[in-house]
Amino acid sequence: MSFRHPCHLPEHRAHPPPSPPPYPRRITIHRYPNFRFETIPDGVEHENPVSADRFMEVMEGIDTVSRPLFREMMISGSLSSRSVRPVTVMILDAFFSFGLDVAIETSIPVVFFETVSPCFLWTCCLNLPTLIEAGEVPFQGVYSLNYSVAS
């Protein structure tokens, strides 16, 4: 089983390397030899934490850096059908669906999953704009979040 994740997760958060290691990079877990973690860059400098204000920068980096590198890894590189341990199914985050193009090109089955919660979807995507338009958010007066719920 291989996991593709941004190269700044998880090990780089606690102890960033003095210089970036060569990518793509494979991380192995000796206790579980059939698990592989393949890191590829997302095109964004991660010296400072990435916050929501850099969202478009991250998306652009993924499109210009991660997408072509992932394709190369899957078509002719370390994860291709010609490799010793080829990928047999892709489990993709639905938010980063660029892997679908590669899956179609290589005829590899795909399973999509969503990483956000139903609460997030309801609040931010489906209901928050309506609540703002109705004047319900931000909360005002006695309905402020600084007060205890009475009922």
Q: What is the pLDDT of residues 111-140, one digit of tens each?
A: 888 777 777 777 666 777 777 788 776 666
User: Given a cut of 60, is residue 10 above it in pLDDT?
Assistant: no
Q: Residue 5: what are its φ and ψ, rounded to 5°?
A: -140, 160
10 near 29, Cβ under 8 Å? Answer: no
Q: What's the pTM?
A: 0.57
Each residue of 13-54: pLDDT tens digit? 444 444 444 555 555 567 777 777 677 777 777 666 666 777
Token pair belonging to 62: 């993924």
Question: Greater confidence, 22 or 94?
Answer: 94
pLDDT given for residue 42 in this prediction? 76
Q: How many CB atoms lie within 10 A of CB 31?
A: 6
Average pLDDT, the chain: 72
Question: Greater confidence, 55 or 9?
Answer: 55
